[in-house]
Structure formats: C-alpha cells, structure tokens
Amino acid sequence: MNSASKIGLMSRLVVLMVLVIGSIAEAAPAETSLPQVFKQVSGAVVVVRTNERVLSRQSGEGGAVSVAKAGIGSGVIINAEGQVITAAHVVQSADAVAVEFVNGTVVRARVVMSDPAADVALLQLDRVPPGAVYVNLGDSDAAQVGEQIFVVGAPFGASHTLTVGHISARRRPKASLGGAGFGELLQTDAAISQGNSGGPMFNMQGEVIGIVSHILSHTGGSEGVGFVVTSKIAQRLLFDEPTMWSGLDGYLLTGPYARAMNLPGETSGLLVQRVAAGSPAERIGLRGGYLPAEFGEESLVVGGDIVLAVDGIPIGAANSYEMIRQSIYQARRDKRAVRISVLREGREFELSGS
C-alpha cells in the first residue's frame, strides 16, 4: 500500500470514528440538572398544618389549662389518589390536619396510617386539586453513602425550600417501646430544620428515597446531622403491612419511672399523654393526662391511662412493639376487636375496640 492509500485509509477511519462518537453522544441522554429535577418534583411537596389541644401551665390559679396549638411539617404526594407521606410525630396526636400546596390551595386531610416508632405516617386528602403532581418512591437500598441528594420542605414555615447535601451514613435506629428499630435511617448533611419533618429526600432521578425524621443539634438548628426514614421502611409500614393510626401520644415507663407511677410488679407501661379528637384511641375509651409534671429531665403529662398490654402482649417486653403491631394488623384483617389492658387511677381493667 502506497503512502497516498495509507493517508486515504486513515482519513476514512478518522471520519468513521467521529461519526460513531457523535452518534453515541447524540443517543446518550443529557444529565438532568438539579434545577430541572427540582422543578419536576417541587409540586408534589406540601406543607402539613395541624391543630390540637395541649396543656399549658399558665392559668390564674397556677394549674394547667387546655389551649389550641398549631403545628407545621412537610409531606409528599406519592400517588394520583391523593395519599401523602409525612412524619408520624407531625400528625400523631393532631385533632385536625390540612395540606397546603405550592399554589396556596389548602385541602383537609385525615391520618390513615401511622407508626410512631418508625416515624412515618400516611394521610389521605379529602380531594385532589386539579393539576396536582405526585412522585414515586425510589429504592433506598440502592442509595450509596456519598451520593448527592436534596431535601424539599418548609423549614420554619418557608415552604418549598430546597437544601442539598449527601448521604453521610446508614444508621440503625434505636430500639423503641420494647422492640428493635425498623431497618435503617439515612444520615445526611443537607440542612434540616424545624418544619422539614415529614418532607422528602430525593435522589438525583427525582425519586423519594427517604422521609425526614429528626436532627441532632446542640442549638436547635441545623448542624449537618439529619436523619430520614428510608423509603423501603415507609413502603413496608404504610402499604405492605400497614399500621393503624391510633391517635395516641404516649411515653414509655420503665425502671424508676414505672415504679414512681406505681405500676404492678416489674412491669412497664405506656403513659397516655394525649388522645386526638375522633381517633381510634378516643373511640376505644383511652384517656390522656391532665397535669404537666417534671420527672428528672423529662416533661410529662400525668393523670392519664397507662397501657399495660395489648392483646395480652406486655408493653416493654422483648420485641413487644413488633408483636403488638403484627397483632393489630392481623386483628384488622380478621375484623376482630383489639384488647387493651389499662391502669387507671390505680385500678386495672380492659378496653376493647377496633
């Protein structure tokens, strides 16, 4: 092959390489930018507003009085039926719940599922406004430490605020109410503040991989140590094996606290702090406390019922929370009443209801 032929062949090869590379570049989807992803998902993020009655120490005679209290959190719409995932602590004892959309539309909602130990809850909108947007739950198991994420919520009431960060770690939640923690929490350095609770953590594909739960802070503000419940746990507890909302806000009494409240033997119990109006806990007859009190570093409301067992499963025993959750789940499927053993004013008795 002479020099001219070689040059001609090389030229054709170069042209071919350019065409191949160009076609690959044209076929490859352009990477979606953060502003683009935010624009796609922002409409699915809502502000969750609550109202409830709480006890205040302020009264003319130095006692406690009941006062109205407004609460705020965040949430995310996850289907066309108008179901909203939020944090359990935002809505657990709320008498009324409403959801505010990005355009200012406010729609009433009701709590249908809630798991305080995992801190996830599911709301159902009374109606779905025209043009409402929803997003999908992603696979939190596929998320990796170091992966970029973003959080959208209402810190201090400033709705649809975006903060950006990374997944810092995977953490095992602490045991609660006598049971092991559920699955994992994702730790993030994205700024999270009061009002972000219940808001979504998104991956860069615009999928929800977590629900904001809480922060660790010395000041009360964001210090870059936030925790979200994984989407896998939310899927399990709200859809696959749904947990009924009780409307009960309680405090686990163990050890010296249990003895101070005169619980029988070496038992533990759940001190009922508050019962939401119209909730299953109210319908079954459980009573909340009426007197604020200080126990060491804890601020409690005493005078209410103390739940000792549910369907014969003692509160505070090993794995009791998971066992009770499964028992209530099965009772709902079997359409049978749940039995609750209660200590009230020093007397033990049983309540039942569905």
Asked if residues 189 and 166 have their Cβ atoms less than 8 Å apart, the reply is yes
CA-to-CA separations, 99 to 41, 45, 109, in angstroms, rounded: 17, 10, 7
Asked if residues 209 and 297 have their Cβ atoms less than 8 Å apart, the reply is no
> Please, what is the Cα angle at 281 between 275 and 287, to 5 degrees?
50
Beta-bridged to residue 227, according to DSSP, are 187, 214
How many CB atoms are located within 10 Å of the residue 211 CB? 30
Beta-bridged to residue 149, according to DSSP, are 165
**Which class for 81: exposed (0-12), middle (13-18), buried (19 or more C-beta within 10 A)?**
exposed
SS3 246: coil
Task: Report the candidate in 50, 93, 91, 88 with the shortest Cα–Cα distance to residue 71.
Answer: 50
**Which class for 73: exposed (0-12), middle (13-18), buried (19 or more C-beta within 10 A)?**
buried
Residues with a known catalytic role: 89, 119, 197
Can you give the C-alpha Rg of the chain in angstroms?
Answer: 26
Task: Report the candidate in 234, 214, 243 with the shortest Cα–Cα distance to residue 322.
Answer: 243
Backbone φ and ψ of 39, nearest 5°: -60, -35
d(Cα 63, Cα 303) in Å, to the nearest integer?
Answer: 14
d(Cα 185, Cα 309) in Å, to the nearest integer?
Answer: 28
d(Cα 117, Cα 134) in Å, to the nearest integer?
Answer: 26
Task: Report the candidate in 244, 248, 264, 245 with the shortest Cα–Cα distance to residue 308.
Answer: 264
